[in-house]
Structure formats: C-alpha cells, structure tokens
Structure 1
Amino acid sequence: MGNGTVKLGIQYLRAYNFFYFSLLSIFISFLPVYLSYRDVTPAEIGMMVGFGSFIGILSQPFWGMVSDKHKTIKRIILLTLGASIAVGMLLFTSGQFTLLFLLVGAMYFFLLPTDPLTESLNYRVAEQHQISFGSVRTFGAIGYATASLFIGWTVDQLGMNRLSWQFLGYGMLAFLFALLVSDAPASSKKLSRQELKQFFFYPKTLRFFLLVLIAATPHRTNDSFLGVFVQSLGGSTGAVGQAWFLAAISEVAFFALSARILQKWSEIKLITWATALYTIRYALCALAPTAEWVVYLQLTQGVTFVIFYTATIQYLYRIIPEEWKATGQTVLAVLFFGISGIIGSIAGGWVFQQFGGGALYMAMAAFSLVACGYSLTLWRSQGAGVGKA
C-alpha cells in the first residue's frame, strides 16, 4: 500500500470520526432535551436511559465478540450504524411514551456499541501506521463540538421537529465514510480461554474495572442530565448546545496533547488527577447561580474526560491479550456506558426530581471524590508502577 493511499485512508477515518461523533452528540446531548420536550419527567428520563444502559450491557459485548470472531471491525460498524440511522429517525419523530421507551433501548443496542468498535478501529489503525490515537480521535471531538453548537442553534430557530432530519444527514455522511475506511488489522492468534480467564480475574484487572465504574458513574450522570439541568436554571436549547460545544472543543485540545501527556506520566497518576478535577467540576456546577456558569464550566471536560479516558484505554490495551482487544474495549464500554449509566441515570433521575439539579451535582462530586481516593490508594499501593513513573 502506497504512502498516498495510507494517508488518504487515514483522512477517511478522520472524516468518519467527525460525522459519527456528530451523530453521537445528537443522541447523547439532545435525547434528554427531546424527551423533556415530549413531557417526559426527569425520573422517567432516568428510567429510559437506565433501561437503555442495561441493553448496552448486553449489546456491547455481543457486537465486540462478533467483531473478534469474524476478524472485522468495519463490517460490524456498517451494520450497527445503518440500523442506528433507521431507529434514530423513528425515535426523533415519536411522542408516545411506550414507543419512545422501546426506541431508546434499540438505539442503545445499535448506536452505543458502535462507539467502542470505532475506538478499537482508531487505536488499531493508529498503531498499524505509527500515528497517535489522539490525532485521529481529535476529529471526533471536533465533530461532537460543532454538531452540538449547530444543532442547539437550529433547534432554537426551527423547532425540535427538525432534529430527525439532522440525525439522518449526519448519519448518512458517517455511513458513507465508514464505507471508505480500511478495516483494522486483525490478530491471527487463536483465542486462549485461559488467557481470557486470567485477564478478567487477575486482581489488577478487577481493581482497574472497579475504579472505572466508580469514576464513570458521575460522568454518565452528567451526560444524561446536563441539558435538563441547564434548562432548569433558565437556559435555552441553544445554551445546551453551547455547553456541549464547549465540552467537546476542550476535548479537541487535550486529545491533541494526549500522546505527550501519556508519555510523561503513568496512567494511574493521570486517572487520580482527572478524578480530583471531576470532583471540583461537579461541586462548582452544584453551586452555580445561573445556567451560564454551568455552560462555561463544561470547558473542564477536556482535562477531566480526555485524560481519564485515554489513560484507561492505554492501560487496558497494555494488559489485555492481543486477540481479545475488541472485546476488551467493549468491556470498558459496558462499564462506562452500561453499568455506570444505569446507576447514574436511574438514581440521578430520582435525586433530580426529589431534590433538584444542585443536589444531584453535589452527589456527583462526592462520587468523584470516592473515585479519587480509591485511585490514590491504587497509585500508592503500586508505587506509581503502572506505566511510567
């Protein structure tokens, strides 16, 4: 394969990331706002997202194992992405509660598993061509940012009923570029059940997964209720879009810097700092007097989420068997988008409805503080020996 062809393939992958994460921003950022527009209460939103997260626990390992079995990531992405586009069009034109409930579950079955598959594709292609993961994933962050701002503005101007057509447009562009990207290199090594068992039951792995679960729960709660919280403080749909734009644009800068940061410090040290900053971020949101304060606090997303997420991916890929990497990525996604999503959405919806958004964000700060303490314990017990010194 010539150098020009390789470069073109990487550009296609970056374009796919841009439009896929634009599509994902509609679902994650604006689904709670859309449900609220359809008169769904915060507790019911939490129940729907919690149900979807439960579906994600089943669907993400399923699609990951299908990918590993057939030694392809691209074809599985095309399947899940195509189904997501069809289901999303139905979701964002529906208003009946039962139908919304079922369609949200279907989106978690198809769209959310596309995320870990995409991350696996990005990581493997970056590894194959010796480029940084961040140089590819940055384009996803740019897509998420620009789509959040654009969609928030257009919904304010044209109405919520145009959301389905925007979902279709971004979805078709993502599908087109997914067709053009090259498949990721697959391992030819036969899966060893003993290696898999050692991976899942090795104490270091179990401690790592527990840390991810604790830290991810308040993050996923923020995903579910940021838009509703901003609106509860008097913010418009455009302000919700601005909040997600600032969060995503801050990710761009830190994804660009992630390779240098990961070279300099150990993963466990970075996770400890990220969870400490998560604690401060959510506490400040809880104390924010206006929606504008919450919107601008989302600029801290880059230093919290990106540092946490890239450190966990690098650590995971360093300890997992080569032939089970796609499945290992989906296990991480099950914790990040599944179990933590269930806890954060259902419990968060109840707290929001009973005590208000400020109380919810203070509880999220407390949860992040627990994650920080646990991470610090692991850091000290390992002597900062995970990764670099």
Structure 2
Amino acid sequence: MKLGIQSLRAYNFFYFSLLSIFISFVPVYLTFRGVTPGEIGMMVGFGSFIGILSQPFWGMVSDKYKTIKRIILLTLGASILVGMTLFTTNHVSLLFLLVGAMYFFLLPTDPLTESLNYRVAQQHQISFGSIRTFGAIGYATASLIIGWTVDQLGMDRLSWLFLGYGLLAFVFALVVSDAPSSSKKLSRQELKQFFFYPKTLQFFLLVLIAATPHRTNDSFLGVFVQSLGGSTGDVGQAWFFAAISEVLFFALSARILQKWSEIKLITWATALYTIRYALCAMAPSAEWVVYLQLSQGVTFVIFYTATIQYLYRIIPEEWKATGQTILAVLFFGISGIIGSIAGGWVFQQWGGAALYMVMGILSLVACGYSLTLWRSQRTEEIQS
C-alpha cells in the first residue's frame, strides 16, 4: 500500500510538472517562434474547443474498458511524442495542429489523474489532498526550474525538459495501482431537466463571466511579462508564486468554506480578481506583475472551491455529477476559447495593459452579478 501511494504521489509531481511546461511556457515558446498574440489566441482557442470534446471522449473510453491507468498511459505517451515535436518546430501551421493535439492528449490526462487520485484515496482511506498536494508542488517547482533553465540555456532546451518530466511521469504511472472508472451516463431528458432547474443558468452565467478573465491570464501572463521587459525566468517565477499560493489556500479552503457562505466568498473572490487585474494593467514593470501572482490562491482557489460547493448545494443529488462536468467545461473550456481568441485580439491591437484592464472590468461585472445573487439569496432566506 505505502509503495503504491508513494508512486502515485510521485506520478502527480511529475505529471503536473509536465503540465506546467505546456500551460505556462507554450505561449512564451510560440512568441519565441514569431507567432503573434492574435495567432496565439487562435491556437489556444482552437485547442480549448478540442479539449471540450476530448475530455468526455477519453472518459467514455475509460468507462468502456473499465480502466483509468491504461488510458493515462496512452494519453501521456502520445503527449510526450507530440510535445517533443511541438518544441522542435517553427512552422506556424504545424504548431497550430500540434497545440490542438496536445489539448486532445495531455489536457484530458488531468481529469483522469484526478479521478485516479480520488478513487485510490477512497480505497486506502486517506485524504485526497495528501496525494494531490504533490501535484501542486510539482507545478510550482517546475515553473521556477524551467523558467531559470530556459533563461540560462535557451528556449531550445524546453524540448528536453519536456521529455525528462514526461518520461519520469510515465515510469511512475506504470507502477501505480489501477482503478475502474465509474462516471454516470445521463440521458438527454435528464440533461434537459438539469438545465431547466431553477438557479442553474444564473449560476453558470456567473462562472462563465468570472472564469473568462482567469483563463485569459493563463494564456497571456507569460507574453505580458515579457512585453514589460521580463525574462523567461521571470515568467517561471510568476507561475511559481501563483502555484505556491494555491497550495496554501487549498490547505485552508475547507476551514474558509465552513466560516462563510459560498456566494459571499464568490463575491469577495471576484472583487479581488478585479483589483488584481487592474493592478497588473497599471504595473510599471514586469516585477510587479510577477509578485501580483501571489494573489492566485485567494482568487482562484477560493472562487473555484466555493463554486463547486455552491453548485452541489443548489442542484439535486442525482445531477451533481452532470453539474461538475458542465462546470469544468465552462471553467476550462468555453471560457478558454473566449478568453484566448478575444484576449489575443485585444493584446495585439492595444497591448497587454489594455487587455488586463478589460479583464478587470469583466471581473467587476462578475462581482456585481454575484452580489445580486447574494442579495437574492439573503431575501429568500429571510422570507423562508
């Protein structure tokens, strides 16, 4: 048991380290290859669209063959091959296809990994966080190490770093214990009933508005830091600060959710998102933007954990699995498409400061909308 758990923790460390290379440094790499912000936005938007389709696809394959581990080995192995090709080419049309392929193979490995973590934790009666924390630590340390290495040795070393982290993740995935997938398949009628359930659409609209600037930041943080004169090492440091703050607030999130209502926390998180992006827009140097990423924990973690708990509270038990899936599609899929394509256009037309100001305005809209829902909830509680 102990060896299996330690292997799973090691796999999480190296897989999320690998994921940090793709999420944190692909925009920087594309800029290095001469791709414009508008083209980067189109690539990431196209990839996000593929991700909306690929995540359910690999989930269904996992369900059909009753295995998570073997599907992870398949998607991870393919990701290593595609990633090595991606980080060694400079043809824009080929880069477009390779980014899409990474969204088809590497990104769906994330929910499969989370499912494996959760089921193994249940099986051995240990906390999910005791496994998943190693992934967050891997993401944070890799962001720092990769940024420094590329800064010192050049962007061409990125392919070897990707290969190294990828092979280590694959080796540890080989020795972890498997767990059968058990996601529930709902009929079209059940899905229709779910969407017509009171409060559902209001809540999902709030998530979409708030998640769009967050996903825009994911796509353009590195490009923005470099546009202010920052180095690749500064980009890595920015992502390190963001990830390390997530570790802290994930550890505190359970206590925070016990003390305050979800909608109140969502309102405060969106307000802090507004301040964060406005300060980034006004930042006089790359260093300011780097240190502002320390607020990632209180914005993203509090918002995301509160939305999950709020969702579970407002919808019936039999629709919770569906709600979680749609929440993920909104937060990481549709908002990614909107944020990357529109964000790339704004960045190219008016620059990074203008983009971050628009992101701040969107967060302010989300804050106002969540405040409306908060007041509506309080009125219902008083009347009842």
Could you tell me the TM-score, scaled by structure 1's length? Answer: 0.89
Alpha-carbon distance change, 267 to 347 in structure 1, aligned in 2, over 3 angstroms: same
Match of residue 284, structure 2, among 278, 283, 289: 289
Q: 1:322-361 residue pairs with structure 2 within 5 A?
A: 325=321, 329-361=324-356
Instruction: State the match for 2:217 in structure 1.
Output: 222
Distance in 2, matches of 1:233 and 1:57, equals: 33
Partner amino acid, structure 1, of 2:269: A
* Alignment partners' CA distance in 2, 1:8 and 1:383: 49
Per-residue displacement from partner, 1:219-273 (whole Å, max 9, x unpaired)? 1100111111001110011111111111111111112222222333333332222
Indicate if the aligned counterparts of 2:63 and 2:180 stay in contact, CA closer than 8 A: no
Q: 1:62 aligns with which of 54, 57, 66?
A: 57
Q: Tell me what 1:251 maps to.
A: 246
Q: Which residue of 1 aligns with 2:18?
A: 23
Following the alignment from structure 2 to structure 1, what is the Cα–Cα distance between the partners of residues 235 and 185?
A: 47
Using the TM superposition, give the Cα deviation of residue 18 of structure 1 relative to its aligned residue in structure 2, in angstroms. 1.3
2:194, 2:319 within 8 Å by CA — same for their partners in 1? no
Q: Which residue of 2 aligns with 1:177?
A: 172
Aligned equivalents of 1:180, 1:201: Cα separation in 2: 45
Pair 1:369–1:126, CA change in 2 (3 A) = farther
For residues 165 and 104 of structure 1, do their structure 2 counterparts lie closer, same or farther at Cα, with a shift above 3 Å needed? Answer: same
CA contact (8 A) 1:152 1:240 kept: yes
CA RMSD, 1 decimal = 2.5
Which string of whole-angstrom CA distances, capped at 9 and with x for unpartnered residues, describes residues 59-117 of structure 1? 12222333344444333322222211111111011100100000001111111122222
Query: 1:232: which partner in 2?
Result: 227
Could you tell me which amino acid in structure 2 is paired with residue 86 of structure 1? L
Q: Aligned residue for 1:43?
A: 38
Q: Secondary structure of the residue that 2:199 maps to in structure 1?
A: helix
Structure 1 residue 34: Cα displacement? 0.3
Change (3 A) 1:322 1:71: farther
Residue 84 of structure 1 is aligned with which of 66, 79, 92? 79
1:317–1:117: structure 2 CA closer, same or farther, 3 Å change rule? farther
Out of 248, 265, 269, the position equivalent to 2:264 is 269
Q: Which residue of 1 aligns with 2:305?
A: 310
- Give the aligned residue type for 1:310: T
1:80/1:189 Cα in 2 relative to 1: closer, same or farther (>3 Å)?
closer
* Residue number in structure 2 paired with 1:383: 378
Q: In structure 2, how many angstroms separate the alpha carbons of the residues matched to 1:224 and 1:188?
A: 30
Q: Distance in 2 between matches of 1:187 and 1:61?
A: 13
Other structure's SS at 1:383 match: helix
Residues 217 and 344 of structure 1 are in contact (CA less than 8 Å); yes or no, is this contact kept in structure 2?
A: yes
Q: TM-score, normalised by structure 2?
A: 0.90
Q: Which of 81-90 and 191-200 deviates more?
A: 191-200
Cα separation, 1, equivalents of 2:320 and 2:108: 16
Match of 2:95 among 100, 110, 115: 100
Q: Give the C-alpha shift of residue 275 in structure 1.
A: 1.3
Q: 1:376 to 1:229 in 2, by over 3 A?
A: same
Q: How many residue pairs were aligned?
A: 380
Pair 1:92–1:183, CA change in 2 (3 A):
same
1:181 to partner: Cα distance: 2.9
Residues in 1 aligned to 2:255 and 2:6: alpha-carbon distance in whole angstroms: 22
Q: Return closer, same or farther for 1:123/1:200 CA change in 2, 3 Å cut-off.
A: farther
Structure 1 CA distance for aligned equivalents of residues 230 and 182 of structure 2: 49
- The one-letter amino acid of 1:343's match is I
Once the two structures are TM-superposed, the CA of residue 186 in structure 1 deviates from its matched residue by: 4.8
1:144 aligns with 2:143: no
Q: Percent identity?
A: 88
Aligned-residue offset at 1:157: 1.2
Q: How does 1:118-133 map to 2 (within 5 A)?
A: 118-133=113-128
Query: CA separation in 2, counterparts of 1:21 and 1:178?
Result: 13
CA contact (8 A) 2:68 2:112 kept: yes
Q: Give a deviation string over 1:335-382, Cα, whole Å, max 9, x none.
A: 122211111111111111111111100100111111122222223323
Separation in structure 2 between the aligned mates of residue 249 and residue 301 of structure 1, nearest angstrom: 9
Deviates more, 1:288-297 or 1:245-254: 245-254
Q: Distance in 2 between matches of 1:188 and 1:212?
A: 23
Q: Distance in 1 between matches of 2:29 and 2:323?
A: 33
Distance in 1 (alpha carbons) for counterparts of 2:366 and 2:64:
35
Query: Judging changes above 3 Å, is the alpha-carbon distance between structure 1 residues 209 and 89 closer, same or farther for their aligned structure 2 residues?
Result: same
Q: Could you tell me which residue of structure 2 aligns to residue 111 of structure 1?
A: 106
- How many angstroms apart in 2 are the aligned matches of 1:147 and 1:99? 26
The whole-number CA distance in structure 1 between the counterparts of 2:268 and 2:249 is 14
